Every structure is written in structure tokens, then in C-alpha cells.
A and B are shown apart, each in its own frame.
Chain A
Amino acid sequence: MLAEWSFAIFSGLTLAMAGFLVAAGLTLVFGILKILNFAHGTFFMVGAYVTYSLVGTEPSSMTWFLASVLLAGLAVGIIGLATDFIVFRRLRSADYHYTLIATFALLLLVTGFVKLIWGLDFLLVRPPAILDATWSVGGVFVPVYSVFVIGAGVIVYILLEVLLQRSWLGKIIQAVARDAWMADILGINTSAVMTVAVVASFMLAGIAGGLLVPNQSLSPALGDVFLLLAFTAVIIGGLGNVRGAFLASILLGLIESVSTVLVPDLPGLSLYLALILFILVRPQGIFTSGAH
């Protein structure tokens, strides 16, 4: 009984951090551009595929795996730069319906490219040998790879917090997010700052894709699964709020793990019910402070 619960909570935390890795970039770009990027999950998927192309089914070493993850992040970041120049910049003053639908179109476009390049088959990447093991902690078997995912999520969160709260660039980003017009008057190149945020968001998506590709069935539908989880986290955490997204991810992971133990027949349903409930009761998210 105890083992069942601790395993469920552990896998819930893994899911939470996986969701946060995707949600981080999503909330970052929303905070500054007020664009809810439907295509974010697809760029996450591109990161996963690029990593697959670099490491193959069996990564030769941990170093090469991590290097590939970074390369995937870089590749997706470059796509982000292009996307910003071609699409986002031209929609800065458009009605939000149109930006939503434009990112939806991007989703289709990129999914199409992925299908043409990598095909429809399910692919599998194993974790590097170091991570492909299990530890036994007090009678509960925990996969090392899950520990790695949780660790990666926490590290990305801390890095983002420090960068946004302490660094010069992070403060400028926050200023633009709060009031782009005023920032512009103060001599900040808001357009460039927005581009930086978009590229950072895309890089995060690519890195998340690379980190999470092991043990996933990699197919063109991969993006959808994580996108909706990340959406939920971003909404519950308050749009544009990194800390909120982090805490909301943990909350969602725990909700999911409790419900898999209590109602195992209905996997996944609790997440959506939580989302609906939160939108109706607290549409502004659980953390209303507005700051990042």
C-alpha cells in the first residue's frame, strides 16, 4: 500500500517536471508577447527528433546525450529566430484570435515537416547506460532516468528564476513584459528583447524535447500529449508566471498520481477536470502577484 502510494507520487513528480520543462518556455513567451503558442509542443517534438537523429536508439555516452540535447536546443532556437521574424513580429498588434490561429497553423506546418522528414513510425530512444538502471529506495524501485528528469526540471527552474530575477537581461525582460510601451520610451529595444524571449522559449522547448525523448514512444503525436499538460500548468500557474507554472506542475503531477491510485480506470481525466475547475474558479491562476 505504502509502496504503491510512494511509487505513484514519484511518477507524479516525474510527470510534473516533464510538464514543467515544456511549460517553462510556453509561459515565458506568453508573459512577454501575450501569445499563447499552440505550436510549442510541436517544437518540443522537433527537439526530441533532432536528439534522436544525433544519438540514435542507443546513446553511446552520457556526455554525447547531453551535448545532443544542447544541440537540439540550439537548432530549435534558430527555428524560433526565424519564426519570430517571419510570423510573430508581423502579428504583434493583431487581435489575439489571429495569433492563436497563426500558432495553430504553425503547429500543422511543423507537424507536416516532421512527418515528411522522420516518417510516421514509432521510434524509441533508450536512456544513456548510466541512467538506464533502477535504484531501490526503501523497497520502492525508482528508475534513475526519472530522478534525472526531476533533477533537470528543478535545475531549469532555478536557472530561470535566477536569470529572470537577478540578471540584467532578466530584469529588462520583466520590464518589457510589464509595460512594453513604457520600456520603449525608456530606450529599451523592446523588439529585440521580445526576439530574445522567443528564442529562449524555443530553445527551452528543444532542450525539453531532447531531455524527455528517452523512454517515450517518439511519434508525430508526441507534441500533443505534453502540450495539453503544459497548457494546464501554465493556466493554473497564471499566464506568464514561471514560478506559478513550476508549482502548478507539481500540483498537477500530484493530482494525476493520486487519481491513478484512486480511479485507475480513467487515466488523464483528472488533469482536464482540474483545468476546467481552475478556469472557472480562478481564471487569473493561483498566483496573482503578477510578477515573474
Chain B
Amino acid sequence: MPGRDTRFWTLTGVAMLAALAVLPLVANDSVKFIVGLAIIEALFALSWNLLFNYTGIASFGHAAFFAVGAYLVGIGQRHGWPVPFPAQLLGAFLAGSVMALVIGGIALRRATGIHFAILTLAVAEVVRMLISYSAYVGRDEGLAGIPRPVIDFGVTTLSLKSVNAYYWLILVICLVLALALWWFVSSRHGRATRSIALDAERAAFVGIDVYRMRLLSFTISGGVAGICGGLSAPWVQIVTPDLSHWLHSAQPMLNTLLGGSAYFWGPAIGAFVYAFINYSTRTLAGLSELMIGGILIIIILSAPMGIAGALAAAQRRLSRNYGEGSP
């Protein structure tokens, strides 16, 4: 069971969070950039795992929602829509969730398993192609030079132009949404979707509306992925059709399995470890794929519980030894 010793995990979590919060004061801009992106990818992976572990659905085109959110905010900022930034982020959330509602509403009725996986992959490819054929959003080159926003509160303004300010915004929003997801999976709805993941037939038997609960998860997950994209656009300052590429759809899967899909925070751990590997192998073309692919294979073959699983096992061993040693 994850989280047997809650105090250990709470302390680890608070320590990591504190480290993330003070990072802008000590690190240089490129490290801040990587970590900021990793925070967004962590939330993106958490939204994917809401489907994978907590509902039993494998989405292979999750990047489509991310891309739609990113483009919405990217266009809004770049073309200077007269819409305040918080409303744009909300728009990214709504766009992602409405899209998921429509796709899921049709597809979850008819396709499951491998077919659903391929279907979502194809949808993401269609999104990528439509974006790259549209002149308004800059075709294959995408939209570059997206400015970071200034939020106007009437009496005062909050400028997010600086790297530090936007970094903290990312951290706060991602943390709030991650906690909201956590709340969802521990709620009775979350337990219902979890039972569907374990055995859909039995869940239907005890009176759970499998289709509706799957659709609920898919909609929430799509919305969160959309807001991840929306947050990333002013941070990276460029959006390209590759945001919807299936390699990007693979990102949350990699992070989730790397970190451990059975643990709620596993995907987030995976996202940071992945970012670290990627950053340290960036110099040689192909080395990062080699490392990531190799690590993933090793994890699937020998440690399917991921890093969080390995950590939990080590922690259990430690506390057992400690318990024996003390009087």
C-alpha cells in the first residue's frame, strides 16, 4: 500500500516543495526554465495517470489537449486578445475538457483497450495536422515570441514578465491543480473510477455507471492537460504543432511509469527525474532517447512499480530496521 508511513512522505513532499519554491533565488535561468517545464510536465503526467491508474484507460494522444490549451493561450497573448490572462487559462481548461468530453463521449461508448489507444493517437495526429495547415497559427513554424502576461486587477497590476514571477505562478497553479486531482481520486467518485480500473464488469455489477465515470475522468484529465498547455505557452514563448506529436503524448506515459503509476505522486517524481536525465544527456544527439528508452525497458521488466515503488520499499526496510534497533 502506498503511503503506509504518512509522516515520511509528507516530510519528503514538503522538503521537495520548499526546494522548488526557493529554486529561483539560487539557480540560473536555464535551470529555472527546465524545472518550470518539469513542473508543468509533472501535472500533465498526473492528469494522464488519472486515466491510466485511476480509471483504467490508456490515452495515447493526450498531447492533443495540451496543444489545444497551449495554442489558445499562445494565440491570445501573441495576437493580443482583449481577454485577461486568468480567463485565457480558464479557456484552456474549458477547451481541453470540452474536447475530451466530445471525443470521449463518442469514443468511450464504442472503443476500449487497444482501439481506444490508437483512436486517441489518431485524433492527436489530426489536431497536429490541422494546426500545421492553418496560416493563422503559423503553420509548421508555430507562433514564436509569445509575451508573458501582466494581470490587471484594476487597482494594481501583477507583472509576470520576469522569469521568477512566472515560475512561481506555474508552481502555485500546478500545486493547486495537483491537490485538486488528489482530492478527486480520494473522493467517492475517485473510488468509483478506481474500481472500474480494477474490474469494469464488477463495477457495473455493483451499480456504477462505467461509461459516465470514465467520461468524467476523461473530461477532467483533458481539462487539466489543456491548462498545462496554457501555462507552458508563455513560459516557453513558442508553440509549434509538435506539441501534439505522439512523442509528446508519450511523455506523460514515460514519466508515469518511471515514477510509478500505482502512487499518486509517482508521475510527478518521474517528470523531475526525466528532466534531469534529459538535461544531463542533452549534448549528444540520440543519447537521451537511448537513456530514456533503456531505463524505461529496465523499469518495465524488473521494477514495474517505478521509482516511487522502489523508494517505498527502501523506506519500509529502513523503518523496520530502525524499529528493531530502538528499545
Q: Is the CB of B126 within 8 A of A280?
A: no
A106 within 8 Å of B (CB atoms): yes
Q: Is the CB of A90 within 8 A of B113?
A: no
Q: Which of A212-253 contact B (CB under 8 A)?
A: 220, 224, 228, 231-232, 235, 239
B183 within 8 Å of A (CB atoms): no
Q: Which of B115-129 contact A (CB under 8 A)?
A: 115, 117-119, 121-123, 125-126, 129
Chain B nearest Cβ from A144, distance in angstroms: 32
Q: Is the CB of B118 within 8 A of A231?
A: yes
Q: Which of B33-41, B88-96, B218-226, B294-302 contacts A (4 or more CB under 8 A)?
A: B294-302
Residues of B within 8 Å of A98, CB to CB, are 300, 304
Set B133, B253, B290: member contacting A109, Cβ < 8 A? B290
B83 within 8 Å of A (CB atoms): no
Residues of A within 8 Å of B133, CB to CB, are 265-266, 269
Residues of A within 8 Å of B254, CB to CB, are 105
Residues of A within 8 Å of B290, CB to CB, are 108-109, 112-113, 116
A8 within 8 Å of B (CB atoms): no
Residues of B within 8 Å of A119, CB to CB, are 285
A200 within 8 Å of B (CB atoms): no
| Interface of A, helix, strand, loop or mixed by DSSP | helix
Complex Cα–Cα for A273 and B125 (A):
10
Complex Cα–Cα for A225 and B222 (A):
26
Q: Is the CB of B126 within 8 A of A273?
A: yes
B320 within 8 Å of A (CB atoms): no
Set B126, B129, B250: member contacting A276, Cβ < 8 A? B126
Chain B residue total in the interface (Cβ 8 A)? 42
Q: Which of B21-29, B104-112, B159-167 contacts A (4 or more CB under 8 A)?
A: B104-112
Chain A nearest Cβ from B304, distance in angstroms: 7
Number of A-B contacts (CB under 8 A): 121
Residues of B within 8 Å of A91, CB to CB, are 300-301
Chain A nearest Cβ from B267, distance in angstroms: 13
B288 within 8 Å of A (CB atoms): yes
Whose C-beta in chain B lies nearest to the C-beta of A280?
A: B110
Q: Interface readout for A83-113 with B: 1 if CB under 8 Å, 0 if not?
A: 0000100110000111011101111111111
Chain B nearest Cβ from A6, distance in angstroms: 27
Q: Is the CB of B118 within 8 A of A112?
A: no
Given that A276-B123, A280-B106 are contacting pairs, would A104 and B115 also be in contact in the complex, using a CB cutoff of 8 Å? no
Given that A98-B304, A112-B290, A114-B286 are contacting pairs, would A283 and B296 also be in contact in the complex, using a CB cutoff of 8 Å? no
Of listed B114, B246, B293, B294, residue having the most chain A CB within 10 A = B293
Pairs across A and B, CB under 8 Å, 28 listed = A97-B52, A98-B300, A100-B114, A102-B300, A105-B254, A105-B292, A105-B294, A105-B296, A106-B293, A108-B293, A109-B290, A109-B297, A112-B292, A113-B290, A114-B286, A115-B285, A116-B287, A228-B121, A231-B121, A232-B122, A269-B129, A272-B126, A272-B129, A275-B122, A276-B126, A279-B115, A280-B107, A283-B111
Extra contacts, 6 of them, besides A102-B296, A111-B289 (Cβ < 8 A), are A105-B293, A105-B296, A112-B287, A224-B246, A235-B118, A279-B122
Chain A to chain B: the 5 pairs with minimum beta-carbon distance, closest first: A115-B286, A109-B293, A112-B290, A108-B293, A112-B289
